[in-house]
Amino acid sequence: MTASSVKSCDVLIVGAGPVGLFGAYYAGVRTLSTVVLDSLEEPGGQITAMYPEKAIFDVAGFPAIKGRDLVAQLLEQAAPFKPHYLLGTQAVGLERGDGGFAVTTGSGDRIEARAIVITGGIGTFTPRPLPTGGEYLGRGLVHFVPEPAAYADHDIVVVGGGDSALDWALMLEPIGRSVTIVHRRGEFRAHQHSVELLKRSSVRIITDAQVSAVHGDPEVERVEITVKGADEPVVVTASKLVAALGFTANLGPLMEWGLDIQKRQIMVDTAGRTSVPGIYAAGDIVDYEGKVKLIATGFGEVATAVNNAFAYLNPGMSAFPGHLSDYAPAPGEAPAVASPTA
């Protein structure tokens, strides 16, 4: 499906991360025709881009689920309602009209929508580069580890002290020949549980340290690490260098949509409404008092946002969708759910 083949829809969801995908499910339940846009080529947002192989432990109902499996389940859950996915397509411009909105895309297409739900997460994200060795990108230096199996029998250096760095170090430990983690501070900024696992693992930990040079031709062969207070650098043999220094997030065009944005977050009320009537938002991109950025909270927020968008589009109808357990779909079939009136 290309953008030019979709002229209009009831709801346009901007962002096919986990929150946008669950929003597509609820929009389908409420019989809203739905288009889901994402600038990435694959659905799944941060999960697909950064940790498809990581186990997620805090999604309700799943004691543990691998990132890519959660994305697959979300796609399957929404599939009976046939949302239109426009991937590799960035939402750029917003026009407001009497009957709703028109969003223009980076590829020059125009999609009309009666309401919009923004689930743009951290926006378009770009990895922070290593202070040195950037020229090895694609020659042993990576920012993502989409396929851990490809690291078998490699000596690996992971740089960073946050969740991604620890997740990848722990994930690669049983796969690689050796794993070293280098962090510029004395303390890690990751989940305490991951820090404990790291300390009990065979991963070599070098803290208060920075990568000062990368050597090898044409691929990475050695990483030189300068440790605070030490006279000589530590040299580690490595054929893979994983730079997990975080990301610079760019809300980009969404910043210009006339929404109330504070500290790069879209402000919403308890119904998921932004400051512009008809535009809702949910997930990592939103803020309100007490906001916790998790997949679990994003799922609740988008259920609220989409159902309130439904009520906005259908005056007199309730935002409450009813309880859905009586309407389990037959395989490949959308459930016939009647939306209750107010």
Ligand X SMILES: Cc1cc2nc3c(=O)[nH]c(=O)nc-3n(C[C@H](O)[C@H](O)[C@H](O)COP(=O)(O)OP(=O)(O)OC[C@H]3O[C@@H](n4cnc5c(N)ncnc54)[C@H](O)[C@@H]3O)c2cc1C
Q: Which residues bind ligand X (CB under 6 A)?
A: 14-20, 37-40, 45-47, 50-51, 56, 58, 90-91, 119-124, 163-164, 167, 252-254, 283-284, 293-296, 298
Q: Tokens for 58?
A: 């805090």
Question: What is the closest distance, in whole angstroms, from the C-beta atom of residue 131 to ligand X in the complex?
Answer: 21
Classify residue 108 as left (phi > 0), alpha (psi -120 to 50) or beta: left
Question: What is the closest distance, in whole angstroms, from the C-beta atom of residue 169 to ligand X in the complex?
Answer: 12
Distance, CA of 321 to CA of 339 (rounded, Å): 6
User: Looking at 238-301, which runs of residues are DSSP E strands?
Assistant: 240-243, 247-250, 261-262, 265-267, 279-281, 286-287
Distance, CA of 191 to CA of 52 (rounded, Å): 18
- Please identify, using beta-carbon distances, which residue of 46 and 180 lies nearer to ligand X: 46
Question: What is the closest distance, in whole angstroms, from the C-beta atom of residue 54 to ligand X in the complex?
Answer: 6
Question: What is the closest distance, in whole angstroms, from the C-beta atom of residue 72 to ligand X in the complex?
Answer: 15
Question: What is the closest distance, in whole angstroms, from the C-beta atom of residue 68 to ligand X in the complex?
Answer: 13
Coil, helix or strand at residue 306: helix
Distance, CA of 239 to CA of 144 (rounded, Å): 15
Question: What is the closest distance, in whole angstroms, from the C-beta atom of residue 86 to ligand X in the complex?
Answer: 9
- Please identify, using beta-carbon distances, which residue of 188 and 339 lies nearer to ligand X: 188
According to DSSP, residue 76 is labeled H
- Please identify, using beta-carbon distances, which residue of 37 and 319 lies nearer to ligand X: 37
Distance, CA of 259 to CA of 268 (rounded, Å): 10
According to DSSP, residue 32 is labeled -
- Please identify, using beta-carbon distances, which residue of 94 and 214 lies nearer to ligand X: 94
Q: Tokens for 245?
A: 């220094």
Question: What is the closest distance, in whole angstroms, from the C-beta atom of residue 230 to ligand X in the complex?
Answer: 30
Distance, CA of 82 to CA of 248 (rounded, Å): 33
- How would you label 78-107 residue by residue, b for 16+ Cβ within 10 Å and e otherwise? bebbebbbbeebbbbebeeeeebbbbbbbe
What DSSP line would sit under 169-215, residue for residue? HHHHTTTSSEEEEE-SSSS--S-HHHHHHHHHSS-EEE-SEEEEEEE
Question: What is the closest distance, in whole angstroms, from the C-beta atom of residue 118 to ligand X in the complex?
Answer: 8
Question: What is the closest distance, in whole angstroms, from the C-beta atom of residue 84 to ligand X in the complex?
Answer: 14
- Please identify, using beta-carbon distances, which residue of 182 and 295 lies nearer to ligand X: 295
Residue nearest to ligand X (CB): 121
- Please identify, using beta-carbon distances, which residue of 168 and 339 lies nearer to ligand X: 168
Specify the pairing of strand 110-118 against strand 8-14: parallel
